[in-house]
């Protein structure tokens, strides 16, 4: 989050979720607050279907989602925007590299437990539900919690919007 006395920059949220409950209302609320929404594959398609403008991650990175969607957000243009402290040295490095800040990370992980609990699930289905990018995004945001908010639970969306509106 931008702290008191800091220069306001464009607000950006990265949203990549498997559980889309309440996401339409949450994303519209973020747009009303002036957030640019960056998103991946299925999440981006859902947001677009609800009429919410979204910037695909591939447009930010200049790199397509590859390997059947396995590689999307693991990129310096994403993680740099999340991990940068809002201090002159970091901001200068971002400027040189053309990296924009990300203030909010909205991620929930693939439903691994639910998948492997299903009768008849194949090993391949189970393996594909091992999330790599999601935990990396959550950890990056948590590491930089002084500047970045991470939301993993859709039930928190109303509270997060309320807090963002009060700033």
For 81-85, 131-135, 155-159, which range has the lowest pLDDT when averaged over its residues?
Answer: 131-135
What CA–CA distance (Å, rounded) separates 82 from 24?
Answer: 23
CB 16 within 8 A of CB 23: no
pLDDT, residue 154, reads 95
For residue 1, name the pLDDT band (cuts at 50, 70, 90).
very low
Q: What mean pLDDT is predicted for residues 101-109?
A: 93
Average pLDDT over residues 33-56: 93
pLDDT band at 9 (very low <50, low <70, confident <90, very high): low
Note the pLDDT of residue 167. 79
The pLDDT, as a whole number, for residue 67 is 83
Residue 7 has pLDDT above 80, yes or no: no
Q: Are strands 149-151 and 35-39 parallel, antiparallel or unpaired?
A: unpaired
Least confident of 23-32, 41-50, 103-112, 158-167: 103-112
Confidence label for 102 from pLDDT (cuts 50, 70 and 90): very high
> Could you identify the residue written with the tokens 């909205």?
106
Give the integer Cα–Cα distance in Å for 18 and 111.
7
Q: How confident is the model at residue 144, as a pLDDT?
A: 94
In this structure, of 31-45, 59-73, 74-88, 148-162, the range with the lowest mean pLDDT score is 59-73
Is 8's pLDDT higher than 90? Answer: no
Direct distance between the N- and C-terminal alpha carbons of the chain, in angstroms, rounded to an integer: 10
Rounded CA gap, 4 and 8, in Å? 9
String of DSSP letters for 23-45: HHHHHHHHHHTTEEEEE-HHHHH
Mean pLDDT of 30-55: 93
Least confident residue range of 46-50, 107-111, 112-116: 112-116
3-state helix, strand, coil in the chain (%, to 5): 45, 15, 40
Residue 4: predicted pLDDT: 47
């Amino acid at each position: 989050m931008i702290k008191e006395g800091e220069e306001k920059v464009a607000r950006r949220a990265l949203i990549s979720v498997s559980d889309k409950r309440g996401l339409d209302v949450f994303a519209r609320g973020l747009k009303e607050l002036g957030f640019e929404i960056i998103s991946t594959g299925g999440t981006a398609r859902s947001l677009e279907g609800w009429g919410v403008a979204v910037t695909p991650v591939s447009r930010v990175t200049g790199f397509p989602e590859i390997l059947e969607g396995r590689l999307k957000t693991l990129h310096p243009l994403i993680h740099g925007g999340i991990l940068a402290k809002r201090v002159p040295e970091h901001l200068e490095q971002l400027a040189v590299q053309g990296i924009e800040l990300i203030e909010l990370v909205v991620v929930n992980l693939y439903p691994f437990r639910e998948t492997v609990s299903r009768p008849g699930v194949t090993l391949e289905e189970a393996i594909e539900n091992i999330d790599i990018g999601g935990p990396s995004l959550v950890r990056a945001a948590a590491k930089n919690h002084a500047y970045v908010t991470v939301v993993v639970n859709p039930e928190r969306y109303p509270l997060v919007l309320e807090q963002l509106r009060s700033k």
